[in-house]
Amino acid sequence: MNFIKSENTETINNLRVLLYKKLASPIDAMWEQLYIASSQHYLIENNDNTIGYCCINENGCLLQIFLLDNHNSKMNQVITELIKSELINSASLSSNEPISFNACLSLSKGIEPNTFCFQHVNTPREVQSTLHVALATTEDIPAIKVFLKEQVGMDDTFGYTENLISRKENFIIKESNVIIATSECRMSDSQPNIADIGIIVNKDYQGKGIATEVMKMQVNRVLEANRKPICSTTLDNVASQKVIEKSGFYRSNIIFDITLTKI
């Protein structure tokens, strides 16, 4: 069994398409765009044949793995070899792909939930708010970056905001030139029928129902575009979970942090 470092090549993209077709629920956009995209990709070879790929971050955490259907029986062997070679010591995988998830679980010594992922019931929501949700422009970039840093500790030095604005997928709500919320509505490139929704509300304006109303607006926006809304939040963000459920979402899968047994 060999693990060959690779860039995000056409071969890996083609394998990833096959993986996404078999997922029990959509993959979270934040996980895909921020974590998996920045990880090291490897082609998995057996007897000089490419049988799949995997993605591993700089801390030795396995973030994604896929084997071709006729090689699924080798999943435990592949995970074992990754551990033995010290390429991985942990995994962060979703329950939406049970073969790799179960293989890591069988070789684990600890597991904790990290992120809750949600799908929508796909029916329009009644919006009662008069909030003005405007498409963010390039002029808003500096203020949005300060907002992200102050509100959630996100230091956007890697062009995340610029990318969303260039795609016309970043929205802003202001009151007297103060940002009271930002929201994204990312139309997935890898999952053509999916859009990922997110919202951050200014701490001084939380508890007023703003998040729920904006989420409902974005749900309707996605449905009008003939896509299906998804979203996610961390285990400890109970307030966000309540907003998500009020907006018509249900929990579809969970991303777990898995500590692997040293072999």
Tell the residue number behind the tokens 């329950």, with chain if given. Answer: 95
- Among residues 177, 167, 115, 170, the alpha carbon closest in space to that of 148 is found at 170
CATH 3.40.50.300 fits 2-116+256-260, yes or no: no
Per-residue 3-state assignment (H helix, E strand, C coil) for 75-88: HHHHHHHHHHCCCC
Residue 30 pLDDT grade (very low, low, confident, very high; cuts 50, 70, 90): confident
Q: Same fold for the domain at 2-116+256-260 and the one at 122-247? A: yes
Q: Which CATH number fits domain 122-247: 3.50.50.60, 3.40.630.30, 3.40.50.970, 3.40.50.1220?
A: 3.40.630.30
- The model's pLDDT over 10-21, given as tens digits with 9 standing for 90+, comes to 999 999 999 999
Instruction: Return the domain boundaries, the chain.
Output: 2-116+256-260, 122-247
Angle between helices 210-224 and 238-246 (to 10 degrees): 50
Question: DSSP letters along 85-136, please?
Answer: TTS-SEEEEETTSHHHHHHHHHTEEEEEEEEEEEEE-------------EE-
Residue 158 pLDDT grade (very low, low, confident, very high; cuts 50, 70, 90): confident
Q: What is the mean pLDDT of the chain?
A: 94
